[in-house]
Structure 1
Amino acid sequence: MLKTLGKDQFEGLEEVMAIAKSVGWGAADILRSYYRGEPDRGDLNIQEKKEGPVTAADIVTNQYILDNLQASFGNQDFGYLTEETYKFQSKGVMSPPLSQDWIWIIDPLDGTRDFIEQTGEYAIQIALVYQNRPVGAVVVWPEAEKLYYALKGSGTFVENRQGNPTRVTVSQRQNIADLSLVVSRTHRDERFNKLLEELPCKNKQYVGSVGCKIATIIEQRADVYISISGKSAPKDWDIAAPELILTEAGGKFTYLDGSPLNYNRGDVNQWGCLIASNGYCHQELCNQTKEILEKIDA
């Protein structure tokens, strides 16, 4: 169904991602039914794991996404890397990269703690990666009833439940002091708080899921998101889909040294410092962040 035509060109990608969008909306319906405590869904059955809570909603939604994508695309040409199946398969041990060129990277519920605490800031993230780089992405923000999607080289769009698409682009703010940071309410250690104090961007917004954070950037309500790993790091499924919807909206998402992110490398952890921005001050942000971290770590 998919054929590579050259750099950033893939025949059949639009049809493939149309299916992913439909699956994304279906997954949103499942999560919202749990979120509202509909009686046929039963208890959330919250389990506290080493890297955060897992609920029945995570597991049921994960299976729904997998079942529908595999029914459409099979397992021969497509690999599947999801948060829930990886935990089960790897048992805490790093797994080898999946062998297929085309990999679906899935987070059925990004922002589980926000889901439990009912902030509304949780998301579904589905990325299609080709040879370690995302070429198609769907991020659904169920409580906003918005689905963001991007195809490599074709821009980023947001659609409502009626399927009406609108193209979205990042802000054009170019003064680093005027940029607004989007950060978590939690997951901030002392090192990260020191970084926030030292950065010239003084405006801050507090949002849960990574997908929701990036959505605030492409809707021009914020401009910068920074992740620095401590004892843990964001995983492939936290970043792959948000990266593409940001970059196709005109932003940038890189490691601190400006190099691109890569996925399905065996180690699903995205260690180090990752910076997402509207792109206009990206290099300056990287340089200043590096200097501040070096001073903090000295």
Structure 2
Amino acid sequence: MITTVNIETPEKLEEITQVLRSVAWGASDILQSYYRGEDPDKKLNVQEDKKDGPVTAADLATNHYILEKLQAVFSEEEFGYLSEETHKGDEPIRKDWVWIIDPLDGTRDFIDKTGEYAIHIALAYQGRPMVAVVAVPEADKIYIASKGNGTTVEKRNGETYSVHVSQRNKIEELYLVASRTHRDQRFQDMLDRMPFKARNYVGSVGCKISTILEQQSDVYISLSGKSAPKDWDFAAPELILTEAGGTFTHFSGEPLTYNKGDVRQWGGLMASNGRCHEELCQLATSILADIDG
């Protein structure tokens, strides 16, 4: 049982990443068993009436597995747990160390069988991610990072390698990755005015960020409207991006903070390969000011 973590002790973070590797692969196995429909007893039981999007039996089973495995190792006296499927209320968890979990990011893509779904698990210290994993089951990959130690890809066959963002450094050379849907007109108008070289359309935030790590894309933008993404959408993807050399901030340049009570991440957020991040933020802010008149 791990009861405390000293952020000045890198070997402790490495111990945590080893636990996460095992949990991520186990969670991937559960999701794939539902996704492929190989077990007739595993029905999705889609609940479409949820206000934040559909929920399936796969979400709930994976969430249960992740919590069970983590809580067996990390004391609930010292570690908090903030999960999409169990979160209630608007009070922050009163712990320095908090696990932030999305057992199935991209539920709609999971249901629609696009393959673009992911698992996000991050351990945050005082609101900032320190260890994270993003699993992409249909790619048979997990992306794992700890603060100051870079990002590593692990494949199902055990092969591992480091990943780094692209070196493209002009907005006109950059590839935007975006959702196929989930854009109101204001957001679409902003994107239409940004002179990217091309656009890639991918589900799940984790899958989007993975395309930046694989140098297929360079920029991902979030802009809240009537609703906003949640802590569990970004905590793990942020760390795997920044440890691979990228940057993830509000348009203002301020870092994201997690476990504030309100789990929604309002406003404009910019994730990029970092090469012209400030310029991108300024451009987005300028365009929005013009749109809003």
TM over 0.5: yes
1:198 to 187, 193, 201: 193
Which 5+ residue runs of structure 2 have no aligned equivalent? none
Offset from partner CA, 1:76-120 (integer Å, 9 cap, x none): 11100000001xx33xxx2x1111111000000000000000000
Q: How many residues align?
A: 290
Distance 2:51 2:197 in 1: 32
Q: Is the 8 A contact 1:250 1:279 kept in 2?
A: yes
Distance 2:40 2:142 in 1: 25
Q: 31-40 or 247-256: which moved more?
A: 31-40
Q: Is the 8 A contact 2:6 2:12 kept in 1?
A: no
Distance 1:110 1:175 in 2: 30
CA RMSD of aligned residues (A): 1.1
Q: Is the 8 A contact 2:248 2:272 kept in 1?
A: yes
2:133 to 118, 129, 138: 138
Question: Does structure 1 residue 21 correspond to structure 2 residue 21?
Answer: yes
Partner SS state of residue 54, structure 1: coil
1:21 to partner: Cα distance: 1.3
Question: Does structure 1 residue 3 correspond to structure 2 residue 5?
Answer: yes
Distance 2:258 2:41 in 1: 34
Question: Does structure 1 residue 163 correspond to structure 2 residue 150?
Answer: no
1:56 to partner: Cα distance: 0.5
Distance 2:156 2:77 in 1: 32
Partner SS state of residue 107, structure 1: strand
Distance 1:202 1:41 in 2: 46
Percent of aligned pairs with the same residue? 62
1:55 to partner: Cα distance: 0.4
Partner SS state of residue 85, structure 2: helix
Which 5+ residue runs of structure 1 have no aligned equivalent? none
Return the letter of the residue paired with 1:46.
V
In the superposition, the TM-score normalised over structure 2's length comes to: 0.97
Partner SS state of residue 32, structure 1: helix
1:39 to partner: Cα distance: 2.5
Distance 1:163 1:64 in 2: 22
- List aligned pairs for 1:1-298, cutoff 5 A: 1=2, 2-4=4-6, 6=8, 10-48=10-48, 49-86=50-87, 89-90=88-89, 94=90, 96-298=91-293
Return the letter of the residue paired with 1:189.
D
In the superposition, the TM-score normalised over structure 1's length comes to: 0.95
Distance 2:75 2:282 in 1: 44
Distance 2:145 2:249 in 1: 18
Q: 134-143 or 44-53: which moved more?
A: 44-53
Return the letter of the residue paired with 1:261.
L
Moved over 3 A (4+): none
Partner SS state of residue 92, structure 2: coil
Distance 1:160 1:39 in 2: 24
Distance 1:59 1:120 in 2: 19
